[in-house]
């Protein structure tokens, strides 16, 4: 391709791109009386061509594909100002020089959208769990790998999935204690003004004190102005002994069907302004007809306030049923403060957190905190302290300390020192 051909691209790259004016020609070998002077000047003014370091354009030379790709890349950078016809021409050239553009590190958005309809990202976590009294679990070092899959169905619907390899015990180097599974698979999109999520997905309403887990089900959401509402029916992996079928079977004898309890509920949120928001949530646990605690209800009322970009806090009131009507407390609360600004793209960024939890026996289904002592179904209370530090781009180091005991039984207690490093890709 002769370099003189580039001047014809002025009709594509320059004349169709608004805001490009004539400028003094920077090339000594393109005199003012040359037939291509105007086009070359426009291309230079637009930053699409820059010639050689000695101030020459050398229009008679043969152009390499790599040089042409450089020109196309510069045109792509200005394509937001082009008309429809010019954009179409630029896209055709981008397709032709896709390999060269890739070597330049230029991402061809439209080509990617068509060719890479399915995208995969991931994370790997090395974690150490150190317990005090081993009520919550046994000390272990684990490696967990997650691959996140997203796929575009159409302009309004997407697919999501998560493959997880979990439980790889670094102390035993045994494959018998780990498994690989498609842990989540769901679709989400819109039906009119309604947001829909359906399949097996993670759901964390409010701040995760009551529920934070994967579950099979469906969630419908609607928002207008400062209001938003979710309604859901989900079957999560409940750990609370009052509703967990395995724990109930152990206490009540045979005849209890397997499978997790169904949870129905709604979350209503309102933003008073950009710093203050409120949420009200209701959960109804429908375990089985054989489980007498099937009709339990849980309520949350929460407030969150953002003081600044680095400081935020939330607090909530919790009301749960006394599942067996044996005099257990029905009321509780939780609060947490976060300080700092964690950004995985910014090495050296950090954050601190501190929380206190006083959660009644019938309330936690599967909580977001990492120390779980709800297996006895007697609630929990205690505090959490934690920190995160971004050691390098997409690598963060974390530490959390939990000190919990049973809300109804102080002898049920444990401490957890939880440290982990995560890599994202």
What are 255-280's pLDDT values in tens digits?
A: 444 567 889 999 999 999 889 999 99
Full-model pTM: 0.70
- pLDDT of 104: 66
27-33 long-range Cβ contacts below 8 angstroms, 24+ apart: 27/51, 27/55, 27/56, 27/57, 28/55, 28/56, 29/56, 29/57, 29/58, 29/59, 30/57, 30/59
SS3 content of the chain, % helix, strand, coil (to 5): 20, 45, 35
- pLDDT of 56: 64
* Residue spans of the chain under pLDDT 70: 1-63, 66-67, 78-79, 81-83, 85-86, 89, 103-116, 134, 136, 174-177, 244-259, 287-294, 374-377
């Amino acid at each position: 391709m002769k370099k003189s051909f580039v001047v014809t691209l002025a009709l594509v790259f320059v004349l169709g791109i608004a805001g490009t004016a004539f400028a003094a020609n920077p090339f000594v070998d393109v005199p003012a009386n040359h037939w291509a002077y105007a086009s070359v000047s426009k291309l230079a003014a637009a930053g699409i061509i820059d010639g050689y370091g000695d101030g020459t354009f050398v229009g008679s030379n043969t152009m390499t594909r790599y040089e042409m790709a450089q020109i196309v890349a510069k045109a792509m950078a200005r394509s937001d100002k082009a008309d429809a016809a010019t954009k179409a021409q630029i896209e055709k050239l981008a397709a032709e020089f896709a390999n060269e553009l890739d070597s330049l590190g230029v991402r061809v958005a439209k080509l990617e959208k068509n060719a890479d309809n399915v995208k995969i990202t991931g994370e790997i976590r090395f974690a150490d769990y150190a317990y005090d009294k081993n009520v919550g679990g046994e000390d272990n070092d684990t490696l967990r790998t997650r691959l996140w899959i997203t796929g575009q169905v159409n302009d309004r619907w997407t697919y999501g999935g998560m493959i997880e390899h979990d439980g790889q015990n670094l102390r035993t180097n045994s494959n018998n204690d780990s498994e690989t599974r498609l842990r989540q698979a769901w679709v989400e999109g819109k039906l009119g003004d309604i947001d829909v999520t359906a399949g097996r997905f993670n759901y964390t309403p409010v701040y995760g004190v009551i529920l934070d887990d994967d579950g099979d089900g469906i969630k419908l959401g609607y928002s207008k102005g400062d209001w938003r509402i979710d309604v859901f029916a989900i079957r999560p992996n409940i750990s609370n002994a009052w509703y967990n079928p395995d724990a109930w079977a152990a206490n009540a004898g045979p005849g209890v069907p397997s499978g997790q309890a169904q949870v129905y509920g709604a979350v209503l949120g309102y933003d008073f302004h950009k710093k203050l928001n409120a949420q009200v949530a209701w959960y109804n646990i429908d375990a089985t007809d054989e489980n007498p605690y099937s009709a339990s209800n849980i309520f949350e009322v929460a407030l969150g306030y953002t003081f600044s970009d680095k400081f935020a806090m939330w607090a909530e009131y919790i009301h749960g049923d006394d599942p067996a009507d044996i005099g257990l407390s029905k009321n509780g609360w939780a609060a947490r403060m976060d300080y700092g600004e964690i950004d995985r793209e910014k090495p050296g960024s950090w954050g601190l957190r501190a929380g206190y939890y006083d959660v009644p026996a019938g309330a936690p289904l599967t909580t977001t905190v990492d120390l779980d002592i709800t297996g006895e179904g007697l609630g929990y209370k205690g505090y959490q302290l934690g920190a995160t530090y971004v050691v390098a781009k997409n690598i963060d180091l974390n530490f959390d300390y939990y000190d919990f005991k049973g809300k109804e039984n102080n002898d049920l207690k444990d401490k957890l020192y939880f440290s982990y490093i995560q890599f994202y890709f």
